[in-house]
Every structure is written in structure tokens, then in C-alpha cells.
Amino acid sequence: MPRATATFVCQSCGAVHPRWQGRCDACGAWNTLVEEVAESPLGLSAPATSPGKRARSGSSGAGPALVTLEAVTPAPDRVVTGVTEFDRVCGGGLVEASAVLIGGDPGIGKSTLLLQAVAGAALRGASAIYVSGEEAAAQIQDRARRLGLAAAPVRLATETRLEAIVDILKREKPALAVVDSIQTLWTEALSAAPGTVAQVRTCAHELVRHAKKAGTALILIGHVTKDGQIAGPRVVEHLVDAVLHFEGERGHHFRLLRGLKNRFGPTDEIGVFEMGDSGLREVPNPSALFVDRRGQTRPGSAVFAGIEGTRPVLVEIQALVAPTGGFGAPRRAVSGWDSTRLAMVLAVLETRCGIRFGGHDIYLNVAGGLKISEPAADLAVAAALVSALGDVALPPDTVAFGEIALSGDIRPVGRMDARLKEAEKLGFEQAFTPMAREARGKKQPATGPVRILPLESVSELVQQLGVESRPGGAGSSGPADDGL
């Protein structure tokens, strides 16, 4: 009989404490410790040196065998699903005997995406299994019909018991298996409820172990908590080879698949999808989605030539600047960008260019629900803000990128050529860019298909837009409060 000991496990990070305390020492979260009786499931928590394990590891009991680097078997095959954006984020398909965790908010489209991927792989001849603990087989069939995939040779199981799923993996040795979702699983070996750290961790661990043995590419679906973590423990993230995030804004049709960790491919890669009536449609050219060509002639709109993952993506940045009504503090509402970064750009514009936003509400929005984290977006944001405040549109067919320093200088950013090429591809004719270091103080560089308008400082941008920068400020009304 396994010996049962009570431990207290943080439901946020999975750290184990011997006694209850209000705050988890490991992650600092409050009131997250829950008592769990740690039994010994499937011999899992038995010490690694237990006699049973040693016997199983074969050879003379001297531990795992060593191989020279040279003798390591070459990279394993990949299971291609045909959902190109998904395959690309995975690094060119799913590696056999590997495990991927896909997290995302409930209702974002995880089950839809994975059903499409599994069906795609099955149609390409891979043996594929979809295990659902969330929906009945009829519901899944219904969805498959809606996606036009009812005829795909995917085998379904509606099961939440770990032991039963492990049996399926052992018996079928499928090339690809999806388990939807990790939070619904439970093992007989533990008395804790499904969804608790102990259950999630044990089930994930066992599934990954058996998938690797069976040569299966395993995909685990996980729901995400309010604070954006994959519910249950971070420990699952350590158990798997790749962690992907499926995200999108409510009310938008775009969905982004983002690689957060990948042992077999690039991280920071994104795949773009559009949710429609017949499922997720891939968007091979996202720039066309995030830029509304007609919108650019309006004040307050600037097109940022950014890099998402390995791909250049153009995205429209919209700013609205309106006088603050009443006596309240001015509002700063940002969507898709960092509000601290906005405060910095505003401070630089005020201090270095005398453009005053005090007494104005500011709304900044990144089109299409995209979230941008690159500092290279500074220049486009500044352009949108100045254009909105001065009520002048940017020159037509112009993109912008560049990082703004506190001094007001525009700093060079990476992958200029890729950004310019993407702009050219979408028919843009000129670009506000940082001045290349070697070109400082010299005349403008030679022009390519996209005319480069290099800027040394943010005040040059303000000049180019023809917005007057005078003390007291363009469009400023009322007293010069700091507004931030």
C-alpha cells in the first residue's frame, strides 16, 4: 500500500510545502495552498533509485546508457497536419514522440483548431486519435461536419480516466493524439479532484511518458486562468517539449497561435487564423488583415511595419485624442500595446517637442486585436498621436518603425529590410525609419522601391507632419497639467 502523506501544494505554481501557509514562498501568490494527500501513483513518486526502476532500466543496473553525440539517431520524422500556420508554429509539423501543450481561454477555438489539425493529419494518412473529456462524441461529430471534415479517418474517444487513455496509447500507438483537455483528466491513484495541481501534473506526466514510449506526437489542450497562465501548474510546461498559446480578442475574428517554448522549432513564431462559420481559416498574409488601406487617410492612423515571430507584419495603429470633459483626470486607454510605453512616448513628445497632451483623453488601439510588444512601434505610435492631436493625416502610403529614446532620438531597430519589403509588398511607397548610424549627418540614403524617410529625432517627425510644436502646445487647451 502506498503511504499517504499530506502536503500543501500551491495551485498557481505547483510548489510543495510541508505545512499550510498564507503565501507561497515559490511564486508569492496568496491563498493558493491546498492540502493534497500525496499517494504514490503508478510508482511515480517512488524514489528514482527504487529497486523496481533499476531493474527496468535494463543493463547492469548502472543507470542509463551513454551514447556519443555522433551516434545519436538523427532528427525524428514530423507529423504534418496540413494546417500550414499550425505546422509552421510547431517548427514544420509535430515531432514524433513529443508533447505539445496548447493553452488558451475557454471558447477561443482550441478544440476547433485541434480537430482541424487532427483531421488534416488523418487525411494525410497518419493514424490520429482525438480524446475528449469535454464533449460527447456526437458533439464532436457535429463540429467535424460543420468544418467539412466528417469523413476524415479520425478515431474518437470520450474519456477522462488517465488509465484508459494510457491503454489507448499503448494499444494503438497512434502517430498523433490530442487530449482535450488536461483539466478534465483524473487518475484512480489520486483522491484529489480533476483540475487540481496533483491530478493535472500526474496525468500530464504519465501521458507524456507513454506518448514518448509509443512514438506518438501528443497534444495536450489546457485552459488558461484569468491571469493568463495555463491553469493548473507551470510544471506541465516543463513536462512538454513545446508550449503554444492560442489567443484572440473577444469580438474579433482573428486568432493567433503563439509559440512560447519549442524544443524543435523557433519560439516567438505566430500563426494567424480567422474564425468563420466553417471553422478556422488560415491567414497566410496577416498584414492585409491588420491594415485598412482606406483608414490611412484619416488623422490618428499610422501603419507600423513590425516583426511578429520571424515574419514581418504590418499593422495599423489608431489614436484618438479628445479634450477631457469636466474636471476629471485625462483618460489613457490602451489596447494591444503597453501603457507604460505610451506614457513614455507622450512624455518624450511633451518634453522634446513641446507637444502637450495635457487636458486630453487618449485612446490608443492596435487594429485587429493584435498585441505588440516591440519597442520598434514607438515611432508609429508617436506618429498616430501627433497626427490625432494636430488633426492632420500622415502622408499617404507610409509606414513607420523605430524605437524612441528618452532623449527623443530615434534608434535603429532590427530587420529593417524585412519590414521595408513587407511594406513594398502591400503597396506602400514610403517609410519613416530610424537614421542608420553610418548615415547620421549625411544626406538621405539611396531610395529603394519604398522611399526611406530617415528620422534622427522625434521632433523631425513632428516637423514632417506639419504639426506646430510650440510651448503651450498644439491643440492644447486649458492649464498645462501633466496628464499622466
C-alpha cell read off for 215: 512514438
**244 pairs with which residues across the strands?**
102, 259
How many whole angstroms separate alpha carbon 39 and alpha carbon 41? 6
User: Minimum distance from CB of 181 to ligand TYD (Å)?
Assistant: 8
User: Minimum distance from CB of 107 to Mg ion (Å)?
Assistant: 8
Instruction: Determine which residue in the list 103, 104, 259, 358 makes contact with ligand TYD, applying CB under 6 A.
Output: 104
| Pick 116 or 301: Cβ nearer ligand TYD | 116
How many whole angstroms separate alpha carbon 372 and alpha carbon 335? 10
Instruction: Determine which residue in the list 45, 139, 278, 285 makes contact with ligand TYD, applying CB under 6 A.
Output: 278
Amino acid at 205: H
| Pick 106 or 284: Cβ nearer ligand TYD | 106
106 lies in the binding site for ligand TYD (CB under 6 A): yes
Given Mg ion, ligand TYD, none, residue 106, with its beta carbon under 5 to 8 Å by kind, binds ligand TYD
279 lies in the binding site for ligand TYD (CB under 6 A): yes
Do the beta carbons of residue 128 and residue 155 sit within 8 Å? yes
281 lies in the binding site for ligand TYD (CB under 6 A): no
C-alpha cell read off for 33: 495552498
Number of other CB atoms surrounding residue 96 within 10 Å: 19
| Pick 104 or 483: Cβ nearer ligand TYD | 104
User: Minimum distance from CB of 257 to Mg ion (Å)?
Assistant: 15
Q: Is 468 helix (H, G, I), strand (E, B) or coil?
A: coil
User: Minimum distance from CB of 112 to Mg ion (Å)?
Assistant: 8
Residues at the site binding Mg ion, with contacts judged by CB under 5 A: 111
| Pick 76 or 228: Cβ nearer ligand TYD | 228
How many whole angstroms separate alpha carbon 241 and alpha carbon 169? 18
Do the beta carbons of residue 131 and residue 162 sit within 8 Å? no
How many whole angstroms separate alpha carbon 374 and alpha carbon 435? 18
User: Minimum distance from CB of 89 to ligand TYD (Å)?
Assistant: 16
| Pick 239 or 275: Cβ nearer ligand TYD | 275
User: Minimum distance from CB of 194 to Mg ion (Å)?
Assistant: 15
Do the beta carbons of residue 183 and residue 223 sit within 8 Å? yes
Question: Strands 301-308 and 398-400, how do they pair?
Answer: parallel
Name the one range near ligand TYD by CB under 6 A: 105-113, 334-342, 421-429, 468-476.
105-113
- The number of residues in the chain equals 484
108 lies in the binding site for ligand TYD (CB under 6 A): yes
| Pick 111 or 262: Cβ nearer Mg ion | 111
User: Minimum distance from CB of 284 to Mg ion (Å)?
Assistant: 25
Write out the E strands in 21-127: 33-38, 78-79, 94-95, 99-104
143 lies in the binding site for ligand TYD (CB under 6 A): yes
146 lies in the binding site for ligand TYD (CB under 6 A): yes
Name the one range near ligand TYD by CB under 6 A: 73-81, 99-107, 156-164, 199-207.
99-107
112 lies in the binding site for ligand TYD (CB under 6 A): yes
User: Minimum distance from CB of 255 to ligand TYD (Å)?
Assistant: 9
Name the one range near ligand TYD by CB under 6 A: 27-35, 140-148, 234-242, 326-334.
140-148
Given ligand TYD, Mg ion, none, residue 426, with its beta carbon under 5 to 8 Å by kind, binds none
User: Minimum distance from CB of 150 to ligand TYD (Å)?
Assistant: 12
Type and span of the H or E element at 262: strand 254-262
**104 pairs with which residues across the strands?**
223, 246
306 lies in the binding site for ligand TYD (CB under 6 A): no
Taking the alpha carbons of 284, 285, 290, 295 in that order, is the dihedral positive or negative?
negative
Dihedrals phi, psi of 162, to nearest 5 degrees: -55, -45
| Pick 83 or 377: Cβ nearer Mg ion | 83
Q: Which residues contact 316 (CB under 8 A, 6 or more apart)?
A: 290, 291, 292, 295, 296, 301, 302, 303, 304, 366, 367, 368
Residue nearest to Mg ion (CB): 111
User: Minimum distance from CB of 20 to Mg ion (Å)?
Assistant: 34
212 lies in the binding site for ligand TYD (CB under 6 A): no
Do the beta carbons of residue 316 and residue 295 sit within 8 Å? yes
139 lies in the binding site for ligand TYD (CB under 6 A): no
Amino acid at 99: A
445 lies in the binding site for ligand TYD (CB under 6 A): no
Mind giving me the DSSP string for 386-446?
A: HHHHHT-PPPTTEEE--EEPTTSBEEP-S-HHHHHHHHHHTT--EEEEEPPGGGTTSPPPP
Determine the straight-line distance between the first and last CA of the chain, rounded to whole angstroms.
64
109 lies in the binding site for ligand TYD (CB under 6 A): yes
User: Minimum distance from CB of 233 to Mg ion (Å)?
Assistant: 20
Judged by the rule CB under 6 A, the positions of this chain that interact with ligand TYD are 104, 106-112, 143, 146-147, 275, 277-279
